[in-house]
């Protein structure tokens, strides 16, 4: 549904986006992450046709955003970080205006807009001036604008920025619901939000991709060969028994009857740990691979990407 082929953007000698290539299939909800200045917004602006690429292609459902912009843009709903709202219009007036700008094609415009108003929860305020709406409602109006014309692809840049916790939860739930019917590319600095909504993560640093996988796989890979063991018995004896396992680099006690083993990621140690505990008479109560949070994975990958850039 979305395909980038060697997408590059230069400003003079500065490379903002450096040879990005990835594909997002229909129905995927993908988090697009990176530190400030990594090239996220520049990539989104190229994807939506707001700026041109220096090199490479951005395709939406097979249509090049620069060569066939009308066909490509008809398939995109875009919510930028600052929604392009006209504050002196009512919600209904604005959506009709935006619909005409998009040159969208539906059988019944009124019914279409009314359905979107209901979908994003702003039908009760459709006759109010946008300047009189709260930040949360304005964000919903921006999202409603993105849904006009039933686009297959939604590109959302910081959709919950500036919202209070209750508003953030509302928008997050709405995006999760929209992900059932649309392909979604979501950029956000709120990593907890991304981990709840997205089933795949693409990270960039210094304009380059540094990670592209499911959160589960990224977490496991970042954790390497670290295993968490909980066992009942003499803690000193457990430490000694675990440390003498082959290929183990180190064992650290991280809590009462709780230990972390470090070993090469390529080595399968779980059976050996189980056998050692049985052999020494320890009651093994938990054995699992350590899982890093998205925040920890983000810091690890983006710092590595910065070091390699």
Asked if 75 contacts 96 with a C-beta cutoff of 8 angstroms, the reply is: no
Tell me phi and psi for residue 272, to 5 degrees. Answer: -65, -40
Q: What is the pLDDT of residues 138-180, one digit of tens each?
A: 999 999 999 999 999 999 998 887 788 888 888 888 888 888 8
Tokens of 35: 């530190």
Q: Distance between CA 92 and CA 128 in Å, rounded?
A: 8
* pLDDT for 305: 58
Instruction: Give pLDDT, residue 307.
Output: 47
Quick check: 212 pLDDT over 80? yes
Angle subtended at Cα 65 by Cα 60 and Cα 70, rounded to the nearest 5 degrees: 95
Residue of 148, 141, 153 whose CA lies nearest to 105: 148
Domains and CATH numbers, the chain: 2-219 (3.40.50.300), 225-289 (3.30.70.100)
pLDDT at 213: 92
Strands across the sheet containing 183-187: 76-79, 153-157, 183-187, 29-33, 200-205, 208-213
pLDDT at 306: 52
Three-state secondary structure call for residue 241: helix
Q: Is residue 73 scored above 60 in pLDDT?
A: yes
Q: pLDDT for 242-290, tens place per residue?
A: 999 988 989 999 999 999 998 887 788 899 999 999 999 999 999 988 8
Question: What rounded mean pLDDT belongs to the chain?
Answer: 90
pLDDT exceeds 50 at position 308: no
CA distance 225 to 37: 32
User: DSSP class of residue 90?
Assistant: B
């Amino acid at each position: 549904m979305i395909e980038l082929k060697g997408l590059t953007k230069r400003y003079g000698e500065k490379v903002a986006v450096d040879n990005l290539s990835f594909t997002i299939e229909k129905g995927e909800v993908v988090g697009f992450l990176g530190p400030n200045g990594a090239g996220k917004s520049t990539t989104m602006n190229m994807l939506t046709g707001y700026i041109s690429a220096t090199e490479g292609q951005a395709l939406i459902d097979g249509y090049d955003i620069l060569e066939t912009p009308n066909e490509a843009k008809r398939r995109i709903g875009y919510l930028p970080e600052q929604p392009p709202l006209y504050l002196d219009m009512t919600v209904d007036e604005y959506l009709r205006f935006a619909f005409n700008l998009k040159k969208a094609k539906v059988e019944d415009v009124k019914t279409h807009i009314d359905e979107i108003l209901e979908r994003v929860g702003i039908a009760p305020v459709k006759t109010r001036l946008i300047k009189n709406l709260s930040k949360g409602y304005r964000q919903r109006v921006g999202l409603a604008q993105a849904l006009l014309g039933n686009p297959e692809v939604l590109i959302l840049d910081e959709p919950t920025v500036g919202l209070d916790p209750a508003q953030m939860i509302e928008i997050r739930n709405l995006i999760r619901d929209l992900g059932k019917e649309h392909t979604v590319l979501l950029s956000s600095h709120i990593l907890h939000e991304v981990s709840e909504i997205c089933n795949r993560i693409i990270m960039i640093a210094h304009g380059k991709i540094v990670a592209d996988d499911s959160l589960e796989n990224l977490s496991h890979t970042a954790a390497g060969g670290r295993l968490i063991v909980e066992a009942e018995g003499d803690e000193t004896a457990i430490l000694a028994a675990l440390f003498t396992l082959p290929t183990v680099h180190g064992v650290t006690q991280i809590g009462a009857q709780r230990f972390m083993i470090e070993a090469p990621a390529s080595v399968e140690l779980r059976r050996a740990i189980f056998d050692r505990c049985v052999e020494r008479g320890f009651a093994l109560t938990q054995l699992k691979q350590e899982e890093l949070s998205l925040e920890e994975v983000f810091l690890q990958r983006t710092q590595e990407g910065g070091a390699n850039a």
